[in-house]
Amino acid sequence: MKPRAALVNDAPAGWLSDAQALPSPNFDARPPGVTIDLLVIHAISLPPGQFGGPYIEQLFTNRLVAEAHPSFADILTLRVSAHFLITRDGHLTQFVDIHARAWHAGVSSWQGRERCNDFSIGVELEGCDELPFDERQYARLVTLTEELFRRFPALNAAHMVGHSDIAPNRKSDPGPHFDWPRVRAALPR
């Protein structure tokens, strides 16, 4: 098991106390007066189809090394992040303050609104299109989502979408194995 940073105790308002804090430089301020009302679920694995390494964290903190895997040369210069990552074992890492704009959605649109990063929270699940997600990921996702719903009253299960829903011509994640009915059924109405 890879070493983990200590959990944040007495976390600032935009950081969850039960998440490992690993700040990313890949964020900026949301537009003034924006209402956070969208939760975007993603899936990521680095290298593709492999789990458990430090590479996702390295990508989100601009420390990925091209020589670590041939596929990394194509993504080395990306400046991306998400608010959260849930690994296969259910571990929760937070990269960006929930009140800031993480760079997770890219060119995107939801219900006629462009630039989904402006008004969304991004959650990455360690996974891929070809394999089911782990039970521990679903449990952690439900707990995290409940907390986000509590903090952002405009969020609800109807405002929880996949990356594929907001960028359908570019993205397929979280993929066909993500169990939307299961997650939505576990959330408060």
Q: Which residue numbers are catalytic?
A: 124
Residue 59 half-sphere exposure, CB side, CA atoms within 13 Å?
24
> How distant, in Å, are the alpha carbons of 40, 51, 82, 87, 96 from that of 23?
19, 21, 10, 17, 6
Alpha helices in the chain (DSSP H): 55-60, 135-151, 163-166, 180-186
Question: Please, what is the end-to-end C-alpha distance for the chain in angstroms?
Answer: 37
Q: What backbone torsions phi and psi does residue 37 show, to the nearest 5 degrees?
A: -140, 25
Q: Do 15 and 97 contact (CB within 8 A), yes or no? A: yes
Q: What backbone torsions phi and psi does residue 107 show, to the nearest 5 degrees?
A: -65, 120
